[in-house]
A and B are shown apart, each in its own frame.
Chain A
């Protein structure tokens, strides 16, 4: 199992306290290929595309519109 994690240094929380999950591009439980853009995080007016670290079945941890911070695990990829 691999975590889909927002990079720790993606933004400075002193400047922008938090972001939101703007989109999931795959459904919960769906199969995703390695490297696919699985989610979009919105911070202020900046969108960050989040890629899947592995191929496998997507488990969404933070739903659309959920609040996130750098380092937050927003989902997991289950292999096999």
Chain B
């Protein structure tokens, strides 16, 4: 099966389409129908919310209003809170069968963090794992540059080990977006749906702002995803998916 495959901005999938394909792929991996893999992709602008948030009072009306404002709402299986994404964010997900034992949440986070830190570092930005509470979808495994969030990670563990269960560990990296627009979208949604956390644009940054490497003439998200693909080697995840795991990378 072909993982999410993207070509240019016009061909970017809607978030619903991309997340559905991620779920389908993970289910096949859980059943043993295909090998563990890494997926790297971009998608159209969206607010990506958790299943918990879909049950908040006013959710349906808020989602409808945000869609009309150009921010369609999609639901993901992983934890956290509302996250804003767009063509200038890069999504990376590691999907593998649910391990029987000995793999912890932090072990999975640590494995996914390393290639992201490495790719950011290659653009001359010093990133670290540090929570940025005022950002959107904040958590212990936020990736920050100069105290501002540039990426966030979340996981979904579905089903039992050895009987179709799978794990999706995913991250969204803000490469070239306007933090004020992202924050305004999240806060607009929060204003319409009681229980969604608000955020501050000042707590968010982008690789375009933080990169010291001069990037001319090439789409920065594409360049970042190329370096992320090079950093996310089988060695990075061997402890999670085994030496025979096949890693497929698509942008």
Contact = CB atoms under 8 A, between A and B. Distances in A.
Interface string A11-24: 11001100000110
A47 B157 contact: yes
Contacts of A22: 50-52, 79
Contacts, number: 66
Interface in A37-70: 37, 40, 42-49, 51
B160 interface: yes
Question: Interface SS of chain B: helix, strand, loop or mixed?
Answer: loop
Nearest to A16: B105
A51 B196 CA distance: 27
Contacts of A10: 157
B80 A45 contact: yes
B85 to A, nearest CB: 15
A11 B155 CA distance: 13
Given A22-B50, A23-B52, A45 B104 contact: no
A11 B159 contact: no
Interface string B156-190: 11111000000000000000000000000000000
A49 B153 CA distance: 18
Interface of A: 9-12, 15-16, 22-23, 37, 40, 42-49, 51
